Structure 1
Amino acid sequence: MTAPREAVPSRRVRANSDGTVYQRKDGRWEAAGYVLAPGNTRKRVRVYGTTRKEALAKLTEKIVSSNRGVPIPSAQGSVSSYLTYWLEAVAVHQLRENIHTRYTACVKQYLVPGLGKKKLAKLTAKDVRTWLNQVRTTCQCCARSIDAARDQPRCCAAGACCSKRLSPLTLAYIHSVLKSALEHAVREEEITRNVARNVRTGTPRPRRFEPLTADEARQFLAAVRNDRLFALHELALRTGLRKGELLGLQWEDLDLQTGTASIRRTLQRTQTGGLTALPTKTRASERRIALPSECIHSLKEHREVQEGEREAAAEGWRDNGLVFSTPARGPIDPANLNRSFRALLDRAGLRRIRFHDLRHSTATLLLEQGVELVVIKELLGHAHIGVTATVYARVRLRLQRDAIDLLGRTLHTQTGTSNQPDDCHDRLPYTAPVR
């Protein structure tokens, strides 16, 4: 009688597509399997671990993601190389030239020095948060060697750091550029998620502005009445047009008979083309607005003056179609307009404000007169009404206080003059509007 054979422990057989797990000669465990790759293809990947369980867990995680239809990252390069590709091949076709220039400066000055050497596929939210905290607390004179390039160092190169740090608005802008680049990497299936979205920088306080009051606005218009560009400044204050929109305005855009203006372009200075007419800031910025009667009158006077300049120039006249131009019929540089605007403020005895604050003054004065936000949004050309509500939140709070005080006076009057019991005849009608 033969002795029974000893039972050999059964080895668990892994099913197809589960991959393989084995121990390497160096003692580590390696797991390999096929997962989904970009372009709806399959690719064999390998993961490693100190134990069989660790290697198997890493492989299982990739297989589960693949079964959900998420391809594995294909990015093998650094963050620096991808940012360069994104700027030169993607952003250049999607952004206006001025915005692309700012993005390029942001990438070269902050993103590449801080995160450029890291692998794009291995970038984590912790890496982004650590880098942002470092940038937030680092003196920019020291980090970018600004002081060393000066003729007379007065900061880090002189041994006395000025602690010049980035503002919260600049920090949020840098963060937004990184998010935009990584978001495109996700769309191209270079990475699986945008880790920059998981990092919160906090909401920076909006830049404070001091618009002109009604009295100051009247004082300003009276002081610039005899200026050659009076029509420009009056149009800016009464309609809230942007500086580039005013400088890019052409006579063909105006209909002085019906009193309307079509905003189709903006004049900007670019690095490659100089003063160039570009499309409006957003699609909502391309709009048609009604012109005040005062602006129609001043524009007619401005056209008469321009006709006189053309007769005086005779054959040397160059007709570029612009409503506002230099005496030599060239486009007005935005920087020159800023300088002349400051001189006009000094002549009027008013405080220094930016030219863009004329636009804020328009919206503020309209809000104080009870004009609805949606009307102001259409006039200013904001893309969303939330932009209008956010920018002028401080004015809206003051209007809320006026409304509350008005309601308080109404309730106080009702309480003090009526001694009759409250019945249906004494109640305020529910649908009565309160202005």
Structure 2
Amino acid sequence: MKGHLRERSPGRWAIILDVGERDPKTGKKKRKWHSFSGGKREAQNECSRLISEITKGQYVEPTKQTVAQFLEEWLLFIKPSVAPKTHERYTEICRKGLTPLIGDVVLSKLRTDRIDAAFTTALTAPRVDHRKKKDGAPSKPLAPLSPRTVHHYRRVLVKALGQAVTWERLTRNPATATTPPKVERKKMLAYDVVQTASMLDALRPTRMFIPILLAVTCGLRRGEILALRWRHLDLGDNSRQMSIQESAEQTNDGVRYKEPKSGRARTVALSASTVAELKAHRARQAEEQLRLGIRPDADSFVVAQVDGQPLQPRSLTHEWVRVLGKTSLPRIRFHDLRHSHASHLLSAGVHPKIASERLGHSGIGITLDLYSHVMPGMQADAAEQVDVALQAAISSQRKAE
């Protein structure tokens, strides 16, 4: 296998590869032509790389398909195998994020350094806001993308180009060797028990009280709360528990119900006070719906609109922001109520394994990683308890002597 270079213009080269076969019509050797931009040494290295790929049988015939065209093909391919919400996120990242950055690059010519350069630009350069103000004036430039956003871009690109390798459009995945942006972990916000008690007292008169109660005393996720039906609850004096079997997810096509995040159902024990609140809520809800001519049953949603219709996840979030804004409490997300419950459990000395099962984590490692900030206090308490027991034993032994 031989190859040579031909300079077309300064910095632009033709890489000509003799593949060894002869055209049966002309008798001339078949050749493969590649265009390359860069220095002579770089062109020579590219020529050597192509020869190596052909020799090893790893050569992929270049096409004119761009990265943008490939991403659209990939999105169509994965649609039947991923959740609707996941596909929506991937579509937004591909069309609004990756395509503006590298969409015009020919797929077969996409290299790691080109991707790294695009991500560096996204992290450092102000973005153009194409929206215009009401007076018609152009908007101010937007801030560069955050490392977390670029991290998500990179993750999706690695996945997409992995499929290009499987389809033999690429010999290797150029995104895997890119430098991941450094993402700082978000500081987890949570209410302590005093703030939690204050919140429950302040928001008791609102329709948000029950979803708040389920989040902060049971650790339920937003989607799990909105998928909860009365048949999932056992409010008897001896059992007092509920089964988390579904989760509500909002997509562009509406709300769908799917398995919980961990992929399996779980049972969550209820405290006596939570059961009392749920019983009172069920009575109020039934009375409210009966006045509208609606007969509630076991399939009715625990958290619902006045007419019994399911509540949308986004609506719950908006209402949480609204009612919280009327209090003097620190502003946290609705999901942070779940974090608050986890912190309360661990601070009270509940074993992380029990907390993990209650929260529906797929493994105890996730619980320990997420709530490591609670652990130092637990370790200090444990050290004191061990020391008290040890000193008591030493004192007892000395008295015996």
Could you say which TM-score interval applies, normalised by the shorter chain?
A: 0.7 to 0.9
2:134 equivalent to 1:151: yes
Q: Using the alignment, how far apart are the partners of 1:322 and 1:265 within structure 2?
A: 12
Instruction: Supply the AA of the counterpart residue of 1:145.
Output: H
Deviation, 1:308, is: 1.8
Q: Using the alignment, how far apart are the partners of 1:47 and 1:346 within structure 2?
A: 65
Asked whether the equivalents of residues 245 and 267 of structure 1 are also in contact (C-alpha less than 8 Å), the reply is yes
Q: Which residue of 1 aligns with 2:24?
A: none
Q: Aligned ranges for residues 344-355 of structure 1 at < 5 Å? A: 344-346=323-325, 349-355=328-334
Q: Which residue of 2 aligns with 1:389?
A: 368
Q: Which residue of 2 aligns with 1:88?
A: 76
2:342 aligned to which of 363, 367, 370: 363
Q: Which residue of 1 aligns with 2:243?
A: 262
Asked whether the equivalents of residues 211 and 357 of structure 1 are also in contact (C-alpha less than 8 Å), the reply is yes
C-alpha offsets along residues 346-368 of structure 1, whole Å, 9 cap, x if unaligned? 55542222111110101111111
What secondary structure sits across from 1:197 in the alignment? coil
Deviation, 1:95, is: 2.5
Deviation, 1:341, is: 2.6
1:311 aligned to which of 268, 271, 290: 290
Instruction: Supply the AA of the counterpart residue of 2:74.
Output: W
Residue ranges of structure 2 left out of the alignment (5+ in a row): 9-13, 22-29
Asked whether the equivalents of residues 47 and 59 of structure 1 are also in contact (C-alpha less than 8 Å), the reply is no
2:85 equivalent to 1:98: yes
What secondary structure sits across from 1:311 in the alignment? helix
2:58 equivalent to 1:79: no
Q: Which residue of 1 aligns with 2:261?
A: 281
Instruction: Supply the AA of the counterpart residue of 2:82.
Output: L
Distance 1:341-1:169 versus aligned 2 partners, 3 A rule = same
Q: Using the alignment, how far apart are the partners of 2:17 and 2:70 within structure 1?
A: 30
Q: Using the alignment, how far apart are the partners of 1:182 and 1:28 within structure 2?
A: 25
What secondary structure sits across from 1:31 in the alignment? strand
- Aligned Cα RMSD in Å? 3.6
Distance 1:370-1:60 versus aligned 2 partners, 3 A rule = same
Distance 1:183-1:59 versus aligned 2 partners, 3 A rule = closer
Instruction: Supply the AA of the counterpart residue of 1:62.
Output: E
Asked whether the equivalents of residues 226 and 303 of structure 2 are also in contact (C-alpha less than 8 Å), the reply is yes
C-alpha offsets along residues 277-316 of structure 1, whole Å, 9 cap, x if unaligned? 33333415x32222223222222222222332243233x5
1:292 aligned to which of 261, 266, 271: 271
Deviation, 1:317, is: 4.8
Residue ranges of structure 1 left out of the alignment (5+ in a row): 1-18, 35-43, 419-424, 427-435
Distance 1:152-1:307 versus aligned 2 partners, 3 A rule = same
Per the normalisation by structure 2, the TM-score is 0.79
Instruction: Supply the AA of the counterpart residue of 1:115.
Output: I
Q: Using the alignment, how far apart are the partners of 2:198 and 2:46 within structure 1?
A: 77
Q: Using the alignment, how far apart are the partners of 1:23 and 1:109 within structure 2?
A: 39
Deviation, 1:378, is: 1.9
Q: Which residue of 1 aligns with 2:195?
A: 216
Deviation, 1:379, is: 1.7
Q: Using the alignment, how far apart are the partners of 1:219 and 1:269 within structure 2?
A: 31
Aligned length: 372
Instruction: Supply the AA of the counterpart residue of 2:56.
Output: S
2:221 equivalent to 1:242: yes
What secondary structure sits across from 1:195 in the alignment? coil
Q: Which residue of 2 aligns with 1:251?
A: 230
Asked whether the equivalents of residues 259 and 290 of structure 1 are also in contact (C-alpha less than 8 Å), the reply is yes
Per the normalisation by structure 1, the TM-score is 0.74
Distance 1:190-1:292 versus aligned 2 partners, 3 A rule = farther
What secondary structure sits across from 2:176 in the alignment? helix
C-alpha offsets along residues 365-416 of structure 1, whole Å, 9 cap, x if unaligned? 1111222323222222223433323322322344345556777x779979xx
Q: Using the alignment, how far apart are the partners of 1:394 and 1:75 within structure 2?
A: 52
Q: Using the alignment, how far apart are the partners of 1:89 and 1:249 within structure 2?
A: 33
Q: Aligned ranges for residues 16-415 of structure 1 at < 5 Å? A: 30-32=17-19, 46=32, 57-58=48-49, 60-63=51-54, 65-66=56-57, 71-73=58-60, 76=63, 77-90=65-78, 92-140=79-127, 142=128, 144-146=129-131, 149-152=132-135, 157=138, 164-257=143-236, 258-272=239-253, 274-284=254-264, 286-314=265-293, 316-317=294-295, 321-346=300-325, 349-400=328-379, 403=382
Q: Using the alignment, how far apart are the partners of 2:230 and 2:206 within structure 1?
A: 20
What secondary structure sits across from 1:386 in the alignment? helix
C-alpha offsets along residues 54-102 of structure 1, whole Å, 9 cap, x if unaligned? 8994565125533xxxx43356221111100111121x22332222222
What secondary structure sits across from 1:377 in the alignment? helix
Asked whether the equivalents of residues 66 and 104 of structure 2 are also in contact (C-alpha less than 8 Å), the reply is yes
Instruction: Supply the AA of the counterpart residue of 1:390.
Output: D
Asked whether the equivalents of residues 2 and 51 of structure 2 are also in contact (C-alpha less than 8 Å), the reply is no
Identity percentage over the alignment? 27
